[in-house]
Copies of this chain bind each other. A is one copy, B any other.
Amino acid sequence: MTSSNLSQRVIEGDARAVARAISLIEDDTPSGAELIRRIFPSTGRAYLVGITGPPGSGKSTLVDRLTAEIRKTAKTVGVVAVDPTSPFSGGALLGDRVRMQAHAGDAGVFIRSMATRGNLGGLARATSDVALVLDAAGKDVVLIETVGVGQDEIDIVRTADVSIVTVVPGSGDEVQALKAGIMEIADIFVVNKADREGADRTVASIDANLSLQTFAPGEWRPPILKTEATTGRGVAELLATIERFRAHTAGSQGSRRRARAEFRVRELLAQRFVQHVEERVLGADELAGILDRIAARELDPYAAVDEIVRRTVKGASAS
């Protein structure tokens, strides 16, 4: 299939073309980049919902339930689950199979898990690109679920149209989870597994944290919802809250999209430059030699990098 055919079929919503396109992106091929360029003008219609939280907070089940709830409104749903599963356990693929069963035969749902990537920033970029594919394919809502509280994961969720942070009640641990840098990115908090002991205490502790912030009149104060993803309790209210947030921010959606563009441009710039240096500037043995000298403390990394940058960019004096 040519790149032009593939992008056309993605835009027509062909599920097999979408799957093929995602594989190209995951493999970090030039055709993946070319595909994104072709579909990009057809993106920007989907509403991006980012969901994050610590492992074990029941995000996958919550996303499944939320998908089902959105489907009741006849909107179509794409799901990108960033699951940094060990390659040797084959978990991402297995995860997809388990996930798909709940929505088997529903052409209005497309689910894909992303495994971890070796490259610097590779996972975040790939996730954004997969979200673009689902957007171009006509999915009305794209749910992006990330495990963990890493910086990349936070950036992915932070630049979605709405950011949901899930927490689970526990014996004091929830406070540590809250500490993990995700407090300030939440538009909506979800205390999942709310049937567990301590759910109200967790709600109170988030609320106490929010009280430290000042909200201007009319400014959105992140609501704290309780859900039980296994039974579906609270999921309808979550969707209603997402819709409420969407209406509240309808006038300011542009700033999120701009932040998303900036995050993407910085990531791509970094990746393209390192690639350029490795392919065009340094010989394979040369990089290895530099690394050996750094490891042996004969050269410091800042001096090494300054020298490489000097050799690579225009207008710098060669040394």
The reply to whether A305 and B120 form a contact with Cβ atoms under 8 Å apart is no
The reply to whether B41 and A300 form a contact with Cβ atoms under 8 Å apart is yes
Does A303 have its Cβ within 8 Å of any Cβ on chain B? yes
Interchain nearest-CB distance for A131 vs B (Å): 13
The reply to whether B33 and A302 form a contact with Cβ atoms under 8 Å apart is yes
Interchain nearest-CB distance for A152 vs B (Å): 5
Interface string of A144-185 (1 = CB under 8 A from B): 000111111110000000000000101011101101110110
Interchain nearest-CB distance for A264 vs B (Å): 5
Cβ–Cβ < 8 Å partners of A187 in chain B = none
Q: Which of A62-70, A98-106, A311-319 contacts B (4 or more CB under 8 A)?
A: A311-319
Q: Which of B55, B87, B121 sits near A120, CB closer than 8 Å?
A: B121
Q: Which residue of B lies closest to A84 (CB)?
A: B181
Contacts A91-B179, A313-B276 hold; do A86 and B262 have CB atoms under 8 A apart?
no
Q: Which of B173, B269, B294 sits near A56, CB closer than 8 Å?
A: B173
Q: Which of B148, B209, B297, B309 sits near A44, CB closer than 8 Å?
A: B297
Does A97 have its Cβ within 8 Å of any Cβ on chain B? no
Does A291 have its Cβ within 8 Å of any Cβ on chain B? yes
Interchain nearest-CB distance for A170 vs B (Å): 7
Q: For the side of the interface on A, what is the size category?
A: 35 or more
Indicate how many identical chains form the complex: 2
The reply to whether A269 and B305 form a contact with Cβ atoms under 8 Å apart is yes
The reply to whether A301 and B55 form a contact with Cβ atoms under 8 Å apart is no
The reply to whether B268 and A301 form a contact with Cβ atoms under 8 Å apart is yes
Does A270 have its Cβ within 8 Å of any Cβ on chain B? yes
Interface string of A247-279 (1 = CB under 8 A from B): 000000010011011101111111111101100
Q: Which residue of B lies closest to A253 (CB)?
A: B295
The reply to whether B56 and A89 form a contact with Cβ atoms under 8 Å apart is no
Q: Which residue of B lies closest to A304 (CB)?
A: B265
Interchain nearest-CB distance for A279 vs B (Å): 11
Cβ–Cβ < 8 Å partners of A306 in chain B = 272
The reply to whether B150 and A300 form a contact with Cβ atoms under 8 Å apart is no
The reply to whether A273 and B269 form a contact with Cβ atoms under 8 Å apart is yes
Cβ–Cβ < 8 Å partners of A19 in chain B = none
Sample of 23 A–B contacts (CB below 8 Å): A37-B303, A55-B149, A56-B177, A84-B180, A84-B181, A85-B180, A88-B183, A91-B179, A116-B154, A120-B267, A121-B270, A147-B179, A147-B180, A148-B149, A148-B150, A148-B180, A149-B149, A168-B173, A260-B295, A265-B305, A269-B309, A270-B274, A273-B313
Residues of A within 8 A of B (CB): 33, 36-37, 40-41, 43-44, 54-56, 83-89, 91, 116-117, 120-121, 123-124, 147-154, 168, 170, 172-174, 176-177, 179-181, 183-184, 209, 212-213, 254, 257-258, 260-262, 264-274, 276-277, 280, 290-292, 294-295, 297, 300-306, 308-309, 311-315
